[in-house]
Chain A
Amino acid sequence: MNAYVAAGYVISLGTLGAYGFSLAIRLHRASKRGRREVSS
């Protein structure tokens, strides 16, 4: 595979994946905390 194409895909998908993952983690934490507070 062409190195430029590979670099483009790896960088884009890597960044989007990392960002999406961090969002999912943050959302998970926030909703866990929210539930705990509402139930207590």
Chain B
Amino acid sequence: MNTRNKVAHGFGRLSVNVTLGILVIMWLLPTFMLVVSSFRPVGDMMSSGWWSAFMHPERFTLGNYQLVLTSKGIGTSFINSLIITIPSTILPILLGALAAFPLAFSKFPGRKGFFITLIAMQIVPLQVVLIPVLLLLMGLNLNGTFPGVWLTHTAFGLPLCIYIFRNFFAQMPYSLIEAARIDGANNLQIFFRLLVPMAKPAFASMAIFQFLWVWNDMLVALFVLNNSALNPVTVKLSSLLGSLDAGWEIMTPAALLSMLLPVTIFLLFQKYYVRGILAGSVKG
């Protein structure tokens, strides 16, 4: 790091700071705009820019937030998002880790084929599979229900989860597992007592990855849920904006609140999230 820092000095260092500063402001500005606007009365929002709000700090209000949680079913959509996201995060991680164990440690026939399928399925665009998935769920009477969405997200999340866990397990010292076997531990014991505690970083990465992905998802919700009473906050925001059904006094705090949870989780566990990204793939 220090050597790298030495590369820029004097005038170079100043221009680097200024350029990066401008870029950072550009990236921060839209979110900052949203934060400021969400605390302004709607009359002000429609007549003057958010930057002029600081001239009348006494006009800032919490009124928009009181309004948003009680109107247009936005409060419900937040609860829906949670109901959708929590099982859709836990299930693929659990089933993925379970499947990754034999994939990492046993040489069973069909292993290679399964692995290639996993890689291929990470890249298949969801648009390609969503209609047959919808038809399948219709056949099971699960379309437009939470369990239907849980199953869909679990299935879509599995290839990446298995892939990441398998790679993580495969890096673990095999001698440790051998030793546990000699001590008489069975596979289940090895999995739960040895691997799960050691693979905590991988679990953290995948949990954050999957949580953010499902929380921010709109496509799966639109295709297989498509039920206005159960819609998550992404679909709600989108339909409010599309129909111009709600004013900016509702849109701005609703958008900000929808960002609060993922951004907080992201900032708290950034290390694990980045590790998940670096581990290789991005899902379709």
Are A and B physically bound partners? no
